[in-house]
Amino acid sequence: MSGSVHERWLDYAVDVVASTDHDCTKDGGGCLEGGGESWMRWPGYLGSEFREGVGLLLVGNVHRDFTSNNVPLWVSELLVSTTKHLRADPENHRSQYFSEVQAAYHRGLAGDDDGGEPWKVARPFAYILRQLGMSWPEVAYTNASKSQHDSAPSKLITGCLSRWPLEELATRLDARAVITCSAPARESLANKGLAVHYFPQRYSYAKLDEIATAIL
């Protein structure tokens, strides 16, 4: 694969944000953020220390409110602003988008040094990462649905998985394994030749330990 893993992820991100051949709103998607627009889609995050063949791809289900669990408002504001700029100027805003998305998602996924809580979706993934001796900068994160919704409608998820197949992202990143809490994501990755580890959203720590042991 040509180009650095960061550039390959950015190509993917631009496709998710700027493409006009898929409309998530037709499947019930939209934007839950103040100042956002209904077309907005969110490709996720690539950590600054992600290494090909070593880094993991973590997959959630559906994007929810970016300020959930008391995550500060600047996270939502930055993601909305940088996504608008990328859509308007995908060539010249790439580098700034990459750094701003890293900052926003890292706060949401990892919390902060002052005890600020992360998004709830991050908790089981963070537990697995601790078992592996890894940190958020070493992984990539995305959701099965690229649009936002306050639940998890199957049509929205299926449409996004069809347009942006997870196996293509995993291959683009040369991810060591995929870990997901999304049943549709797991189903879409079946028989794709990838190491896929699934835990249900009502998980047990025994299941998370099992996944960590399998990856180790």
Tens of pLDDT, residue by residue over 154-176, are 999 999 999 999 999 999 999 99
Nearest C-alpha neighbor of 124 from the set 204, 63, 68: 204
Give the angle 70-130-198 at the CA atoms, nearest 5°: 85
d(CA 48, CA 181): 23
How much is the average pLDDT of 187-201? Answer: 96
CATH number at residue 131: 3.40.470
In the chain, the number of structural domains is: 1
Residue 103, Cβ density class (10 Å: 0-12 exposed, 13-18 middle, ≥19 buried): middle
Distances (CA, A) of 175 to 33, 77, 155, 166, 191: 30, 30, 27, 11, 16
pLDDT of residue 152: 78
pLDDT of residue 113: 87
Distances (CA, A) of 118 to 110, 112, 114: 5, 8, 12
Helix (H, G, I), strand (E, B) or coil at 202: coil
Q: What is the span of the domain harbouring residue 64? A: 5-215
pLDDT at 2 over 80: no
- Please state the pTM of the whole predicted model: 0.96
pLDDT at 40 over 90: yes
pLDDT at 1 over 70: no
